Amino acid sequence: MKRNKFLTTLAAISLGAALLAGCSGNNNADSKENGNAAASNTESGNAASANNASSGDATNKEVESNAGTLPDKPTGTFSFFINSGATWDPAIWDWGGHHNAIGIFEGLVHYSQGKVVPGTATSWKEDGAKWKFTLRQDAKFSNGDPVTAEAFVLGIQRAVDPNTVKGTSKASSFLGDTHIVNYLDIQNGLKKVDELGVKAIDPYTLEIDLQEPDKSFLDKLAISNWQMPVDPKVVKLGVSDDTWTDPAKIVSNGPYMIDKLNVKTDMWLKPNPYYYGKVSLEKIHMTWSTPEIKQLLVFQNNESDMATLAAEDVPAVKGDSTLTNELNWFDTSISYTFQVRHSENPALQNEKVRQALTMAIDKQAIADKVLGGTGTPSYDGSITTWMADWIKNVGPQYDVAKAKELMKEAGYPDGKGFPTLVMLVPGADDKVAQAVQQLWQQNLGINVKYDGEEWGAYVTKFDESADPGTVSVVQNGVGPAVANWKETIVQTDPLHMELAKIALDGKAWENYRKIWNDSKLEQGDKNKQASDLFAANFSKDITDRYAKAADAYKKDDEAGLKDFVSWRMNTAWTFPIYTVRNGILLKPNVKGYFPMRMWLSTPPDWLNDITVS
């Protein structure tokens, strides 16, 4: 099974653009059959989960679980900040889709308190690569129409159908590495959308055929927008129009529906009157977060029940006993890293140099002093310490003496003779990048230049090779697709072997860019030519390692997989610095907020778990 390395630029931290990926994994991945748990949503996700327990800070506490205690009648208003959406069409890739996934729509399964729980499907059966879902018969859309297997088929077909996104400037909802039979051929226009491996066996039985068995399928479903049903009486195949931004026209099936929407500011939700279970809140107010809005001020003025702290807010909050009591630390899965850029100059091709660079960074000091606790040291871009604690011990450690020695061995004693190292960073004032710059200069004696660029310029330069005569690293944000470390390392498709791509020599990289930027080539041809180029130029050591790891994954050979991770970290092609950790203030009367840790902004994972007394 392939994993989709999900690479997003984390300058997005400041822009609030985050990414979605799978979610807190290892809990349900192995449940072959779920005996009709949860007659109603109110009973589904008990257990306050181990999901948030591992970050080891005195202020870190579990948010009180709420499950099983929803009021008989929707009560209270919950007001919080979230990334803005532009469309709420579940077939379209957009932040609005993430809003859909936490309670405007309800898929087959969803997350609740960090676990995958039944949604509209009450039970399911896995038979190799075939999944059969039994749907509940009392589920209804917000217009009263029944939610049938047909509605799911239409929803998933729309997400795959390339016609849906035509003329929208958007992309289809991301199926990632969930390989439904024929999905790629349909997206590439080679097959018709009704050939997709999704069928309604009867009105309440849905079958999904995958190309190969997938241990993480339920985790991937739970966080996905593409699995949402749409009402066949209202929604058509091949169209996404502006009805998806008009609350009066959006028909959804989750516990909440959109009441009022101000596309650029905020949105109000109200209970879906036809929802089969209890609905906890009378109103939900979602305000779009922007870096300029001071969430702490808004929280203190009681206009919001939730606020995400900026690093500079932390001392003020820690100095205030009331606020300290309202503070929760939520880990995310997104890491801030640097990665080697391609260059004519081979200095960074030397593994010793890269290891020295890694060893010269005091990540703990950066997490504590620069980030004020809004980050924890990161050791591997796709495996966080909360997923696998051992990760911190297997890679190169902070050791200045050793780093200097390695530089000397590489022929650069005290940094002498080393070319200028340029750091490409979005924004002129990235404190973390500046700290890394200082550490490299002080500890290794090399000359490091900070190249802060406006977002558009940064994005444009991201793939370009370093300027002649220099070597360079670029800041990037990375995260896994599912929160299971074993799932995050299996990658055999050359187009997605990020490490091998980074390690490519400068010339081969430029050839790849020529193919990729050729506007006359069809996407399919691009993929093919790029794959061929990679196959011919990838380092054999790297591809062998990947093949071995894939084998270890199939055999569930944990030692083999750990060996691969350790090797990967010691190649030091990337320099993970910290994993984002959100300081989130919640009013004391808010219960049941459990963070969606795969998203950078850690919104609640299921809105209907939240109560406000």
For another protein, the binding residues (CB under 8 A) are 4-9, 12, 15, 17-20, 86, 93-94, 162, 165-169, 171-172, 174, 176, 184, 187-189, 241-242, 245, 262-266, 287-288, 290, 292-294, 297-298, 300-303, 455-457, 459-462, 495-496, 498, 519, 522-524, 527
576: left (phi over 0), alpha (psi -120 to 50) or beta: beta
For another protein, the closer CB: 380 or 498: 498
Cα 357 to Cα 400: distance, rounded to the nearest angstrom? 9
DSSP symbols for 575-599: EEEEEEEEEEEE-TTEE---B-TTS
d(CA 204, CA 185): 28
CA–CA distance, 2 with 6 (Å, rounded to integer): 12
Residue 257 in tokens = 């529906």
CA distance 237 to 528: 29
Q: Output 302 or 393, the one with its CB closest to another protein.
A: 302
Per DSSP, helices labelled H in 100-238 are 149-160, 183-187, 217-223
Give the distance from CA 339 to its chain's centroid. 19
The nearer residue to another protein, 179 or 363, going by C-beta atoms, is 179
Q: How far is the CB of 522 from another protein (least distance, A)?
A: 7
Least separation, in Å, of the C-beta of 322 and another protein?
13
Report the alpha-carbon distance of residue 66 to residue 510 in Å, rounded: 54
Shortest Cβ distance from residue 276 to another protein (Å)? Answer: 32
Tokens encoding 180: 């439904």
Angle between helices 558-571 and 540-554 (to 10 degrees): 150
Q: For residues 294 and 369, which CB has a smaller minimum distance to another protein in the complex?
A: 294
Report, in Å, the least distance between residue 466 CB and another protein.
16
Between the alpha carbon of residue 163 and those of residues 178, 230, 238, 249, the distances in Å are: 20, 17, 5, 21
- The least distance separating another protein from the CB of residue 241, rounded to whole angstroms, comes to 6
Supply the minimum distance, in Å, between the C-beta of residue 268 and another protein.
Answer: 10
Shortest gap between Cβ of 331 and another protein (angstroms)?
19
Find the shortest distance in angstroms from Cβ 368 to another protein: 28
Give the C-alpha separation, 250 to 257, whole Å: 8
| CB nearer another protein, residue 274 or residue 455 | 455
- Closest CB to another protein among residues 254, 494: 494
State in angstroms the smallest separation of the CB of 321 from another protein.
17
Q: Which two tokens stand for residue 602?
A: 């850690």
Per the CB < 8 A criterion, the answer to whether 21 and 6 are in contact is: yes
Residue 340 or 403: which CB sits closer to another protein? Answer: 340
Q: How far apart are CA 431 and CA 444, in angstroms?
A: 20
- Choice between 40 and 262, CB closer to another protein: 262
Please report how close the Cβ of residue 345 comes to another protein at its closest, in angstroms: 23
Strands 266-271 and 256-262, bridge-based pairing: antiparallel
- Closest CB to another protein among residues 301, 393: 301
253-289 CB burial, b ≥16 within 10 A, e <16: bbbbbbeebeeeebbbbbbbebbbbbbbbbbbbbbbb
Q: Which is nearer to another protein, 261 or 383 (CB)?
A: 261
